[in-house]
Structure 1
Amino acid sequence: MTAARADTIRILSFGDSLSAGYQLPAGTGFTDRLQEKLNAEGLDAEVINAAVSGDTTASGLSRLDWSTPDDVDLVLLELGANDALQGLPIDRARANLAAMIETFQAKGIKVALMGMMAPPNMGADYTASFDAIYPALAKEYQIPLYPFFLEDVAAQPHLNLEDGMHPNEEGIKIIVAKVAPFIIDILKQTN
């Protein structure tokens, strides 16, 4: 590894279709746009796309070891939306996310939790319990929390694909514009 390479901040986007670039042209997904934004802000950053469309917290946990490259500095943990859409047990989603946080931390990798919210059609009790997972985990593990990955994009038809759930290119631009300062703050605190 060269000295220049060693100075590059390696950020792993570990998530589902929301950060995988689902049905978007190459180079226009979350990780590509985030890397462009961070580089434009003067950061020598490499954003690695380790997001898999359809992943639940359980499937993310099962692939964590083999899909995490060496020398990662920061993980953006963006999972849980598919658990909520499928109405999977909240305690399992929480336990899976906790296990992933612990595994990344044991590898010496800083974790930033990208919050999700359950769709309102799941009922008030499920929604309230699911939405509470992320702040509780962030507090328990003392990790940064971005409250809602799809802030200002969810339920906005012009910012999503025809399915109404996945951000389009314009939606991705908004997500990146909002998430980038959060990530830059984390990186400043760790240096």
Structure 2
Amino acid sequence: MRKAIVGILVVLSGPALAEPVVIAALGDSLTQGYGLPQEEGFVPQLESWLREQGADVQILNAGVSGDTTAGGLSRAAWTLTPDVDAMIVTLGGNDLLRGIDPAVSRANLDGILQAAAEADVEVLLVGMQAPGNYGPEYKAAFDAMYSELAEQYDTLYAPSFFEGMGGVGIDPAQVRGLMQADGIHPNAEGVVQIVQGLGPEVLNLISELPES
């Protein structure tokens, strides 16, 4: 009887009780899955893709439609709960729509990365590119802040959320069929391509974690 109990304890303390890697996806409507059924949004599709690659992972949807980098900073502390192992940060699109000073956006992203560093949470920072209509100085400052902050905090960096659809210099005409009617948010098939582009970066993020 005692041997049986010992055997049960060994089984219960083994790999069967291993916890999945928990990743918080901090972002705006692109992360939240605006305009799509829940199962077709970015987070569920990314989680499914990662599991197909063999990753034992849970993605938390911390995307809020309309959120700016300031909104993300205000949510960072309570998003980084003790069970969160890593974080994907995809913010800045709404800063662009509002013409917010890149120095302000940069300070907010800096605060988010600082919070992650203090929580000992690995980060994948996803970049974004400003349109040219704000002027060359605005565009240069905005575009550069992501890679520079990633280097400063030694985080992983992906140049664009839309890398799987062509990334920087994307031709809107070529991806019209992958977007919703507003031309801003991807449809379900667009999300498939986004996940195929970002998925390997998230696998790299997972590989950075201890005992992953």
Distance 1:26 1:86, change over 3 A: same
Q: Which runs of 4+ in 1 moved over 6 A?
A: none
The size of the alignment, in residue pairs, is 190
1:178-189 paired onto structure 2 within 5 Å: 178-189=197-208
Distance 1:125 1:47 in 2: 36
Give, in angstroms, the shift of residue 5 of structure 1.
5.8
Give, in angstroms, the shift of residue 47 of structure 1.
0.6
* Aligned partner letter, 1:45: V
1:14-163 paired onto structure 2 within 5 Å: 14-151=26-163, 152=165, 155=172, 156-163=175-182
Cα deviations by residue, 1:161-191 (Å, 9 ceiling, x for unpaired):
1111111111100110011111112222333
Q: Which of 147, 168, 190 is the aligned partner of 2:187?
A: 168
Cα deviations by residue, 1:107-142 (Å, 9 ceiling, x for unpaired):
111111011111233232211211111010011111
Give, in angstroms, the shift of residue 157 of structure 1.
1.6
Mapped contact 1:85–1:118 kept (Cα < 8 A): no
Give, in angstroms, the shift of residue 159 of structure 1.
1.3
**TM-score w.r.t. structure 1 length?**
0.93
Structure exhibiting the larger radius of gyration computed from Cα positions: 2
Distance 1:189 1:47 in 2: 16
Mapped contact 1:50–1:68 kept (Cα < 8 A): no
Distance 1:168 1:133 in 2: 28
Q: Percent identity?
A: 39
Greater helix content: 2
Q: Match for residue 10 of structure 1?
A: 22
**TM-score w.r.t. structure 2 length?**
0.84
Query: Mind listing any 5+ residue stretches in structure 1 that lack a counterpart?
Result: none
Q: What SS class does the counterpart of residue 46 from structure 1 fall into?
A: strand
Query: Mind listing any 5+ residue stretches in structure 2 that lack a counterpart?
Result: 1-12
Distance 2:16 2:184 in 1: 39
